[in-house]
A and B are shown apart, each in its own frame.
Chain A
Amino acid sequence: MATVVYKVGDDISTDVIYPGRYMATVLPTETPQFAFADDAAFNGRLRAKQIPPGSVVVGGRNFGCGSSREQAVSCLKGHELVVVAPDFARIFLQNGINLGLHMVTCPTIEAEEGDELDIAADAVANRRTGKRFAVVPLPRSRQAIIDAGGLIPFTRRRLLAGG
C-alpha cells in the first residue's frame, strides 16, 4: 500500500520537476533537495522528510517531457518516490529505467492526493474508489536493464564480458 502525496497534470516537463536554474547541481546525492522546487509547499515537505519512501506521485500524460536532464529522475529517486502516470516521455522513461526509478505506466489511472494505492505488476488498485487500473509493462528493450538493477551494473557486466 502506498499513499498518493502529489498529483500533477499532463505534459509535466523536466523543467517543472527539476528547474533549470539548479542544473549546475548534478550528483544524485545532491539533486533531491530541488525536486519540484517551484512548488514551495511540496518541495518543503520533501526536504523536511515528511514524505515517506514509497509514496506515490500521480502524473498526467507525457510525464517528464522536455529536457534530457537526468536530475529530474535522480531527484525523485533520491526521495524513493514512485511515479504512476498514463505514459512517460521517452528520455525520462529511459533515464528512469537506467537509474532504477520506480515508474508505473497506467493509462487509465484515477487517483487523488491522499488516496491509497496497491501497486502490483499487472494493475493498480485504488482503495478509496475500489477501482482497478491495468498496468502496461515497460518496453521489453529495457527489461534486461531493469533486471540488472540499472544501466551501470548492466554496462559493467557487458564490459567484463568483453563488450
Chain B
Amino acid sequence: MGMTVVQKILARASGLATVHVGEVVEPRVDLAMSHENAALVINQFAEIYQGTALKPVIWDSARVAVIFDHRVPAESPKTASNQKKVREFVAAQLIRKFHDIRGDVGGICHQILPESGYVRPGAVVVGTDSHTTSHGALGAFAFGIGATEMASVWALGTVLNVEVPATIKVVVKGRFKRHVGPKDLILHLIGRLSAQGANFKVLEFHGETIERMSTSGRLVLCNMAVEAGATAGVVPADAETARYLRDEAGVTDGLEPVRPDPDAPYDSVIEIRVSKLEPQIACPHTVDNVKPITAVVGKRIQQVVIGSCTNGRLDDLAVAAKIMKGRKVAPNTRMLIFPASSKIYRQALAKGYVGAFMEAGAVVMNSGCGPCLGVHEGALGDGETALSTTNRNFKGRMGNPNSEVYLCSPAVAAASALTGVITDPREGAR
C-alpha cells in the first residue's frame, strides 16, 4: 500500500519507512512559528523547566519563527508589554527568523513564512495559529497547535504523539469563469463538507485547476482547509512550487518535492468542476453557511475588508484595484484594505494600487491581521454588517457579537464597496 503526501512527510520526519493512518508518531519539526501568542508559549516553556537543573534553551533557534501580526502596532499597554517580553526572549534565544512591526520585513505570519522562503516542500511546520494550514500550499505538512504544545516543541524539537491523519483527495477540474477563483472554490468546498466534515483529516488537492493555479491561490485553499475542520491542506509540490520559491522567495537550494503514491489510501475522493461555479458567499455566523452570490445580492453592508492571510496578496489587490480604479466607495460604506505583508504593500504602491484604492475612498492600513479577529481595529457597530475577504464569520468575530460578517472573494468585495450592497462582480464590473 502506498502513502499520501502527509504520510510520506510524517514517515520521513519520524525516521520510519512507512506510516499507517491512525499510527502515533513523533515527527521532528522543521519550522515552529508563533505570533504575539509567543508570550504565552514563553510562559509555558519556562514552566516545563521549573524544578529541573536544565537551562531553558530552545532546541534549535534556527527552526523557530516569531512574527508580530495580530495587534500591530500595539493597541494597548498590555499588548505592547507582551510584545516587549517576546522581543527580549527572541534576542536572548538568538531567534533570527523574527519579524517585528516593520515596513520592510513585517507582515502576516502566513504570508511572511512563504515569501521569506522559510517553508519547503516536505517540511513539518507547526504554528500556534489555526491557519498554519496555509503552508501546505508549498507541499509541506503544516498544522496549528496550542501554546503549551509549542512550548513542548521548543523544548524537544518534536511534536509528541501525532496521530497519522486520513486524507481526503480533492480533484478539481475546469477553468474558473471571470471574477471567480480560489476563494469561491474553497468556500464551495467548505459548504459541501460542513465545518466539521474534514475533522482530523487532511485535504490533498489535485487536478488540472490546481496545477494551473498560482501559489497565491493555493495558499487560499490550504489557509481555509481548517474551516472544514481539516488538520491540514496540502498541494503536492510541483513546477509552480519551484517557481514560487525561486522567483518570489529567493530560495536557491535544491527542493525535494513529495508526491503521493498512485495507490495511496484515500479516505474518500471529492471531484469538483469549477467551470460553472458562481461567486460564493459564506453567510453569518458559520463559514459553512455558503450560498451562491445570487442568494444574497443587494444585502446592505457598512464595512468592506480586503486583506488577511487569506486574501491580502498582490493578485488579490490587483483584482480589486482593477475594479475600483477611477470609481468611488459608496456613501456610508467604509472600506479597509490590509496588504498581507509589507513587501506586498510596497509592490502595491509601485503598481499604483494603493493610490487607486485611496482615491476611491478606501483606507489602506498597515500589514497585519487587522479587523479579521476583532482584537484591534475596524470593529463593527451594533447591527452593522461587514463583507470581508477574511476567513471567519463567527458571531463576534469582528469585535461585536451584535454584528454580522459575510465572507467573499476580493472581486466581490471590491464590486460591493462601490455600491454599498453585496454586488455580483460579473454585473458591470471591469
Contacts and interface: CB of A to CB of B under 8 A. Distances in A.
A142 B146 CA distance: 14
A83 to B, nearest CB: 16
A65 B229 contact: yes
A70 B147 contact: yes
Interface in B4-63: 24, 36-37, 39-40, 43-44, 47-52, 54
B146 A155 contact: no
A64 B230 CA distance: 14
Contacts of B51: 156
Given A61-B196, A90-B231, A154-B160, A67 B40 contact: no
Interface of A: 11, 13, 15-16, 19-21, 23-27, 38, 61-62, 65-70, 73, 87, 89-91, 94-95, 98-99, 139-142, 144-145, 150-152, 154-156, 158-160, 163
B146 A73 contact: yes
Interface of B is mostly: loop
Given A20-B373, A67-B373, A163-B156, A95 B128 contact: no
Contacts of A99: 146, 148
A103 to B, nearest CB: 14
A151 B44 CA distance: 10
A163 B109 CA distance: 29
B70 A16 contact: no
10 contacts: A15-B374, A16-B395, A19-B374, A25-B78, A62-B229, A67-B392, A91-B130, A91-B144, A141-B24, A159-B52
A158 B157 CA distance: 12
Nearest to B369: A20
Interface of B: 24, 36-37, 39-40, 43-44, 47-52, 54, 70-71, 75-76, 78-79, 82, 128-130, 132, 144-149, 151-152, 155-158, 160-163, 195-196, 199-200, 229, 231, 286, 288, 373-375, 379, 392, 394-397, 399, 401
A77 B48 CA distance: 19
Most buried by A among B70, B394, B399: B394
A142 B152 CA distance: 14
A24 B145 contact: no
A144 B160 CA distance: 10
A146 B206 CA distance: 38
Closest 8 CB pairs of A and B: A95-B146, A26-B40, A62-B196, A20-B373, A38-B401, A155-B152, A141-B161, A13-B394
Contacts of B145: 68, 91, 94
A95 B148 contact: yes
Given A68-B129, A95-B148, A141 B78 contact: no
Contact of A15 (B48, B79, B147, B397): B397
Given A11-B286, A155-B48, A16 B396 contact: yes
Contacts of B396: 15-16, 19-20, 38
A154 B396 CA distance: 36
A21 B146 contact: no
Nearest to A88: B199
A151 B52 contact: no
Given A16-B395, A19-B396, A160-B52, A94 B43 contact: no
Given A23-B373, A98-B148, A159-B155, A87 B199 contact: yes
Given A90-B231, A140-B24, A15 B395 contact: yes
A90 B37 CA distance: 19
B161 A145 contact: yes
Given A38-B395, A66-B394, A87-B199, A20 B374 contact: yes
Contacts of B54: 159-160
Given A38-B396, A38-B401, A91 B146 contact: yes
Contacts of A145: 160-161
B143 to A, nearest CB: 8
Most buried by B among A21, A99, A142: A21
Contacts of A142: 161
Nearest to A144: B161
A160 B151 CA distance: 15
B4 to A, nearest CB: 18
Contacts of B379: 21
Contacts of A141: 24, 161-163
B155 A155 contact: yes
A62 B199 contact: yes
B79 A24 contact: yes
A89 B229 contact: yes
Contacts of A27: 40, 43
A138 B414 CA distance: 46
A89 B231 CA distance: 10
A141 B24 CA distance: 6
Given A19-B396, A24-B82, A94-B149, 4 more contacts: A20-B375, A23-B71, A89-B199, A89-B229
Contacts of A154: 152, 160
Given A68-B128, A152-B148, A90 B394 contact: no
Nearest to B399: A21
